[in-house]
């Protein structure tokens, strides 16, 4: 009897704990109702614009046109996927996409880190704010505007040719955007120019969280400014660098459509035709929506693989990861 009574009492205690936990959860939810409402709006937005449209991916396996609905379109299986992999333009498109993206990753990824490190060492607050403002100002200009500026600067009568001619570095003016050999360099350098300052903001915010006591201890040990950057600041922002590196690797197939679109032309097509441009030209412009969706789906699957691969490698290296 005593054992049965103890068991019943334990069940009653658990039931009261569950009711108390549920009541506590409701009270906490009511106390955070404004924050929960904001989070709910974000969840609804993501559901409407990111998850519901995923239903349209089925047209990659159909022969869809705007006259018929998605349900009425006939199934064609993997036809569009096979067509993409057998396209004669595919090798050049992949080469341009990977080439531009790898250069942006190799050159463009570490530069904001270095810029933030040196900017963090500036003692004059006014000069630091001025440099930071000037550096991230291009970020707020669209590629339509910057593309027009670059097209003017890089023409055979532009300011770049005038400066190089005045310095004696070239003999004859060069129309750089009409020369395929210069396009990758222009794409990478202009992207760095536009995003360098803005990307550095994230690292500066991470540096602000590094404990001042670490710098004081390094000073007592006789460390110089460069040694503090190497042994205190960089380890302190290693987690931020790791996460941003994972995101950068997962975006290797994204060559920035806006940038490429405004600077490309028929003369540099051999080095500017990337996946996004290829999809736009052969899929959207020609109303081949199923084909464009198939190529986009292939790109998304590869991107997911890159994300998981980069995340797994950094996890094995005991670095901060996304999951």
Q: Are 144 and 262 in contact (CB under 8 A)?
A: yes
- Cα separation of 81 and 297, whole Å? 9
**Vertex 156: Cα angle to 150 and 160 (nearest 5):** 55
What is the pTM (predicted TM-score) of this model?
A: 0.83
Query: Is CATH 3.50.50.60 what the domain over 78-316 is classified as, yes or no?
Result: no
Q: Please give the average per-residue pLDDT across 10-36, as a whole number.
A: 70
> Is the confidence at residue 17, as pLDDT, over 60?
no
In tens, the pLDDT along 68-109 reads: 888 888 999 999 999 999 988 899 999 999 999 999 999 999
In tens, the pLDDT along 138-177 reads: 999 999 999 999 999 999 889 999 999 999 888 889 999 9
Alpha carbon of 236 to those of 37, 84, 173, 189, 230: distances in Å? 35, 45, 48, 28, 10
Q: Domain spans of the chain?
A: 2-60, 78-316
In tens, the pLDDT along 215-228 reads: 888 888 888 888 98
> Is the confidence at residue 10, as pLDDT, over 80?
no
- Confidence (pLDDT) at 1: 47
> Is the confidence at residue 282, as pLDDT, over 70?
yes
> Is the confidence at residue 182, as pLDDT, over 90?
yes
* Residue carrying structure tokens 């500026």: 149
62 forms beta bridges with 75
In tens, the pLDDT along 258-270 reads: 999 999 999 999 9
Q: What is the C-alpha R_g of the chain?
A: 27
Q: Please give the average per-residue pLDDT across 304-308, as a whole number.
A: 91
- Confidence (pLDDT) at 20: 55
- Listing DSSP states for 267-300 in one string gives GGHHHH--HHHHHIIIIITTT-HHHHHHHHHHHH
């Amino acid at each position: 009897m005593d054992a049965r009574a103890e068991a019943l009492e334990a069940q009653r205690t658990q039931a009261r704990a569950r009711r108390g936990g549920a009541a506590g959860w409701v009270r906490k939810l009511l106390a955070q109702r404004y924050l929960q409402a904001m989070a709910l709006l974000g969840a609804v937005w993501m559901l409407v614009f990111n998850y519901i449209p995923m239903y349209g991916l089925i047209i990659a396996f159909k022969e869809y046109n705007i006259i018929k609905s998605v349900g009425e379109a006939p199934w064609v299986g993997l036809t569009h996927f096979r067509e993409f992999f057998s396209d004669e333009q595919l090798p050049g498109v992949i080469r341009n996409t990977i080439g531009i993206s790898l250069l942006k990753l190799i050159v463009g990824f570490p530069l904001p880190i270095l810029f933030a490190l040196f900017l963090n060492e500036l003692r004059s607050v006014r000069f630091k704010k001025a440099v930071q403002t000037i550096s991230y100002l291009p970020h707020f200009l669209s590629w339509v505007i910057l593309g027009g500026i670059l097209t003017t600067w890089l023409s055979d009568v532009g300011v770049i040719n005038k400066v190089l001619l005045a310095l004696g570095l070239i003999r004859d003016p060069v129309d750089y955007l009409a020369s395929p050999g210069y396009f990758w360099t222009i794409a990478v350098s202009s992207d760095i120019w536009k995003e360098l300052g803005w990307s550095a903001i994230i690292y500066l915010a991470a540096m602000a969280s590094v404990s001042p006591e670490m710098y004081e201890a390094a000073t007592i040990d006789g460390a110089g400014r460069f040694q503090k950057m190497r042994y205190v600041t960089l380890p302190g922002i290693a987690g931020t660098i790791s996460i941003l590196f994972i995101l950068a690797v997962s975006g290797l197939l994204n060559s920035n459509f806006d940038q490429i679109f405004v600077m490309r032309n028929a003369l540099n097509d051999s080095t500017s035709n990337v996946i996004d441009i290829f999809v736009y030209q052969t899929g959207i412009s020609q109303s081949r929506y199923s084909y464009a969706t198939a190529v986009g789906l292939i790109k998304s699957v590869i991107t997911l693989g890159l994300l998981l691969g980069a995340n797994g490698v950094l996890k094995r290296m005991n670095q901060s990861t996304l999951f």
